[in-house]
Chain A
Amino acid sequence: MRKSSMFFMSLALQSILLFGAFTHAVYQRGRDTSGLGDTVLLVKRLGLTDLCLFTEARYTRHPSQADLHSPFQDHPMSLEHFPSGSLVAPRNNIGDR
């Protein structure tokens, strides 16, 4: 078989797989989004405000509720030291307050 044929076949296979990934995403989204309904109800019922992503510090557990300076308030000259603190960006309206 010619090398160009093999190259195009491998590209076609990868493209089919990529198309398959998109199809899987659409199918899975349809299934999972309906499952999210229960989570939305739970959030509404309990009045939850944040995702449970980082439980190590209160300002990473509830970033939307945290004081803006909370990473640095443990003691004077305190520096942020929780690993997830480096993952979470400050809110974009931080200058408003």
Chain B
Amino acid sequence: MGAWSERQRNIIDFTLSSLLRRKGKNLSLLLVYTALVFLLASVMFFTHSLRKEASLVLQGAPEMVVQRMSAGRHELIPHRYLGLIQGIRGVSSVKGRLWGYYYDPVMSANYTLLVPDDASLEAGSIAIGQGISRTRLAHVGDVLPFRRYDGTPMILTVRNVFSSGSELVSSDLVLIAEADFRMLFGMPKGLFTDIVLTVRNSKEVATVAGKMQKLLPDTRPIMRSEILRTYDTIFDWRSGIIVVILSAAVLAFIIFAWDKASGLSAEERKEIGVLKAIGWETSDVLLMKFWEGASVSLTSFLAGVLLAYVHVFFTHVVLFEPVLKGWSTLYPSFKLVPFISPYQVATLFFLTVVPYTVATIVPSWRAATIDPDSVMRS
């Protein structure tokens, strides 16, 4: 055992000296490799944590939302639909909801206005999210001007600001009294934005949705399971820019590994030839190349994963922020819960370290099995 480990250590000593002889090349290799792992790990940690957090938070979403569609667009739903839906067997409660979007020309930002179920807000007062409070410098007791549908101003007083802990769901939220909401948008009584309903037996939600579409063909039911599924797939690896980042990274990695696998430089071949000429076995050369690949890839992998962890959970994904913000003026300043698992790290390991290490051994095996004399002469 002692002789075995001493042999390994000797080979590692030699390998590291050999790597240090080509310092510039190997350092740049190390940096590129680390950057690649960092990028992949950052995307993986960020999307996984966001999906996990969404699945936890949105457990409280309505069991079913019913929208009315007209000419392919979401349309206001009349009050009589409430009675019709209530009549469907299995439905336990039905409520009309009022919510919508308000474009604030001062900040060029979109707010989500919502009328709460309970009568906790009196007319003339609002509760706002942290994002609005931050951008409009509005605090409890301040007033915020809104513009009604007919262009006349409407002044509302801030009664409450949501806690920063809930910013992921409430950053752009404005809670407003029903009378103010209807006055702001000119929405007559008897019309709602959509309907939320609960079903007595949760196993019957899909059946109720089917019955409702038969009874009211112009409606579109959205079940809680669909809401949760939306967030499960929203940052799926196949989605939008993530697939672009991943394919660019994977492509870079393939080029990278291909460069290694396609052959050795003349200097490396010569080194192998000299080593064989002085008595190294093929297995020793392969061991040296294994340690060369392993030292570069393990160091880069661990550094990349650690940097990605700091990037996602300590710096609030600062490098991705411009992409995530897009044209949004209001962007929540939220802190992600670090949902990481050994499975994720293991996946990344098998995607990066293993192929690279194998790619370094194959050409070395080819070079190590031929005659040292011909290697040195070539």
Contacts and interface: CB of A to CB of B under 8 A. Distances in A.
Partners in one complex: yes
Interface of A: 2-4, 7, 10-11, 14-15, 17-18, 21-22, 24-25, 28-29, 32-33, 35-36, 38-58, 60-65, 67, 69, 73, 82-89, 91-93, 97
B323 interface: yes
Nearest to A30: B337
B163 interface: yes
15 contacts: A3-B17, A3-B20, A24-B313, A36-B337, A40-B59, A41-B60, A42-B169, A48-B60, A52-B170, A52-B332, A61-B172, A64-B231, A65-B74, A84-B324, A84-B326
A89 B235 contact: yes
Contact of B167 (A4, A41, A52, A87): A52
B366 interface: no
Given A28-B338, A35-B165, A55-B109, A49 B58 contact: yes
B129 interface: yes
A67 B57 CA distance: 23
Interface stretch (B277-285, B303-311, B370-378): B303-311
Interface of B: 8-10, 12-13, 16-17, 20, 50, 53-54, 56-62, 65, 67, 69, 72-74, 97, 101, 109-110, 112, 114, 116-118, 129, 131, 162-163, 165-173, 175, 194, 196, 220, 222, 226-227, 229-231, 233-236, 238-242, 295, 298-299, 302-303, 305-306, 309, 313, 323-324, 326-332, 335, 337-340, 342, 345
A67 B72 contact: yes
B162 A42 contact: yes
A22 B305 CA distance: 11
Nearest to A97: B220
B20 to A, nearest CB: 8
Contacts of B12: 3-4, 7
B115 to A, nearest CB: 10
A64 B227 contact: yes
A29 B48 CA distance: 14
Contacts of B171: 52, 55
Looking at A22, A32, A51, A58, the one whose CB has the most chain B CB atoms below 10 A away is A51
A73 B61 contact: no
A25 B305 contact: no
B72 A17 contact: no
Chain A contact residues: over half helix, strand or loop, or mixed?
A: helix
B299 A10 contact: yes
Contacts of B67: 65
Given A3-B16, A4-B12, A38 B58 contact: no
Nearest to A88: B234
Given A18-B306, A35-B165, A93-B226, A11 B110 contact: no
Contact of A45 (B116, B167, B239, B306): B116
A63 to B, nearest CB: 6
Contacts of A92: 229, 233, 236
Contacts of B117: 45-47
Contacts of A4: 8-10, 12-13, 16
A9 B224 CA distance: 51
A86 B241 contact: yes
